[in-house]
A and B are shown apart, each in its own frame.
Chain A
Amino acid sequence: MLLSKKCRFAAMAAAVLLAGALIFTPGVFAESHQKAYKIGGIFSVTGPASFLGDPEKKSMELAIEEINAAGGVDGRMLEPVIYDTEGDPSKTVMAVGKLINKDRVTAIIGPSRTPTTLAVTPMVKRAEIPFISCAAGNKIVEPVKPWVFKTAQSDTQAVASIYEHIQQRDIQKVGIITVANSFGESGKEQLLAQAGDFGITVVSSQSFGASDTDMTAQLTKIRQEKPGAIICWGTNPGPAVVAKNAKQLGIEIPLYQSHGVASPKFIELAGDAAEGIFLPTGKILVADLLADNDPQKQVLADYINAYESKYNETVSGFGGYAYDAVHLLARAMEGTNGDKAEIRKNLETLKNYVGISGVFNFSKTDHNGLDPSAFVMVKIKDGKWQLLE
């Protein structure tokens, strides 16, 4: 008797709770006939490339939140499904398999690194699913693969920006020093390939290990060839050591760095030696220095504002790749009812989209959609970035 009374009480309580839950979540009924679009995200949130993956994941969530708050795509919400690749190609392959077969996503954004991206492009082709990579490597969209797009600026554009600047200063001979990993190799390839187009000769090409402690020997060798400028291609901390060593050796010719060190961390590491260094960077680093008529100024300010107030941390230069990818995708998805071939076609014909990394103009032959204007040249002066014309 006592037991059944207890049961009845429990049942009543459950009923009240359930009713309450239904009343207070009206969306359950309203949305059930219009399922959300699932968007896959794969980023190296942890591991050595977490400086890329972590802000990318956060920016993807931010962008989806913005789109949903504005009513979604054709009234349907977007739902992110994000996996961590740890920067590992085999984990990326597994994550993409899961996204395609189990989660049945409409499109995939990421991964953060070039090797992980190249590992999954064959799968994307087989599954015929729109795929927007956040990695920088040229090889992702060169040659063009129908289903593969990317939002990060390429080395090609960074090299072109540097060479343009060197050409303006009437320097014909340069020495290059690149880090011995995929980032440095790709940079070196582009530096050697494009030099001729700008009338520049590479007189010495040296390399250094990612964790080397001293590069004076390489710099001495470059100096022997008497170049007019030195270009260093790497990610922290190597380039900071190069900058320090160049100053110690009393090398007076201009030193150029790649966009790989375009963060305040580089200035902190290199200290005084950073003074006078030139480098190309995406506009996000110098958003407040841009001219008012720059089309990206407003977009950048909104993004930085939203990111910093949501996550309470300084915006990074890399999250924008994922942010652009989500917004481009949402634009391409409009009116397609989730048809993947339609989305792909819309992406390929998207024009004049003003994003974080530049103004995107996709075409059949260009799945990156950016030109060298995506980069600006900056000079480090008094520990601050200074925008160059």
Chain B
Amino acid sequence: MQEILQYLFSGLTNGAIYAVIALGFSMLYSSTELINFAHGEFVMLGSLCMVTLAANLGFPLIPAFFLSICAVAAAGLLFERLAIRPVRHPEPIVLIIITVGASIFLRGVGMLIWGKNAHSMPPFSQHPPLDVAGARLLVQSIWILVIVAALTAALQMFYRRTLTGKAMTACAVSKKAAWIVGIPTKWMVLLAFGLSTGMGAVAGAIIAPITMSSYDMGTMLGLKGFCAAMLGGLGSLWGAILGGFLLGILEALGVGFISSGLKDATAFVLLLLVLYVRPQGIIGAGEVKRF
């Protein structure tokens, strides 16, 4: 019992991280139909910015957190302006290849700025782990869960209650129709990039204290986030959240009851299964009902 609880805690923490990364993928996809394979690299940037600001430059936690997110979101905007928008024939495959190129570029930049060594920082609050029926729950995990919940609520509000959010949804449904009714679609795409990469930075910043940050951490996290987004249904907010938690928990249980060697395989076998059986994902019910 104690073990199962421990696996669950471990899965919840990892799952929350996958969920935030999946959210970034999903958001961008729903407003631009683009998969940004450089997303993992923005997670890495967020994590390393956070370490530099909070641990090395001695910024207080909250300014460091928001500064990292703003910096990474700015990098995301720059990426859209310099690499995505100037493309003359913006076919999906061309754009996807550009994002793959960008991920290699960003990893190189990360290596030049932060070096090849890993970096670590202290947790957000110094509490000993909580004891829940014999299993240990990290305080940082609670932080992660709270931040992810707040982020999801904020996003939901943004899409449902604000004009900009609704305009963005409109863009996602039909770019041309949105343009005809006067929505500045180019600005919406730019905004989607900023929000999505900012989301990546949030994921990076909240995991910085529980793991080690290094220039090459983004690839695997990006892939796992992509799996989670596919699992839940690409383009769906709740799908991304569900996919992320499902993936994290299944991975942890896989380690516990099958074999730790198969941890990463769990994610990818799940992805293959979903692609075969239900290509639209668990929640995504096809194009029509996406919104």
Contact = CB atoms under 8 A, between A and B. Distances in A.
Contacts of B10: 214, 216-217, 220
Nearest to B214: A237
A237 B116 CA distance: 11
A217 B255 contact: yes
Nearest to A236: B118
Nearest to B122: A271
B212 A269 contact: yes
B211 interface: yes
Given A211-B217, A221-B255, A248 B3 contact: no
Most A CB contacts (10 A, CB to CB) among B6, B9, B129, B212 go to B212
Interface stretch (B164-172, B185-193, B257-265): B257-265
A257 to B, nearest CB: 15
* Band of interface residues on B: 35 or more
Contact of B6 (A249, A268, A269, A271): A249
A356 to B, nearest CB: 23
B120 A209 contact: no
Contacts of A50: 116
B212 A220 contact: no
A187 B97 CA distance: 39
Contact of A220 (B116, B210, B256): B256
Interface string A221-260: 1001000000000001100110010001110000000000
A189 interface: no
Contacts of A216: 6, 9-10, 136
Q: Is the interface of B mostly helix, strand, loop or mixed?
A: helix
A206 B260 contact: yes
Contact of B120 (A220, A249, A268): A268
Interface string A289-332: 00000000000000000000000000000000000000000000
Most B CB contacts (10 A, CB to CB) among A211, A224, A250 go to A211
A43 interface: no
A217 B136 contact: no
A180 B6 contact: no
B220 A209 contact: yes
B136 A213 contact: no
B210 A213 contact: yes
B272 to A, nearest CB: 19
Contacts of A208: 260, 263
A213 B17 contact: yes
Given A214-B13, A271-B122, A240 B136 contact: no
Nearest to A251: B136
A216 B14 CA distance: 11
A122 interface: no
A218 B138 CA distance: 16
A151 interface: no
- Give the 3 A-B residue pairs with the shortest CB-CB distance, closest first: A237-B212, A237-B118, A213-B211
20 contacts: A48-B116, A206-B260, A209-B220, A212-B211, A212-B263, A213-B211, A213-B221, A214-B10, A216-B9, A217-B10, A217-B11, A221-B255, A221-B260, A240-B120, A240-B212, A248-B138, A249-B129, A249-B136, A250-B136, A269-B119
Given A217-B11, A220-B10, A236-B118, 18 more contacts: A211-B214, A212-B263, A213-B14, A213-B217, A214-B10, A216-B10, A217-B252, A217-B255, A237-B120, A237-B211, A240-B120, A248-B136, A249-B6, A250-B129, A265-B117, A265-B118, A269-B120, A271-B120
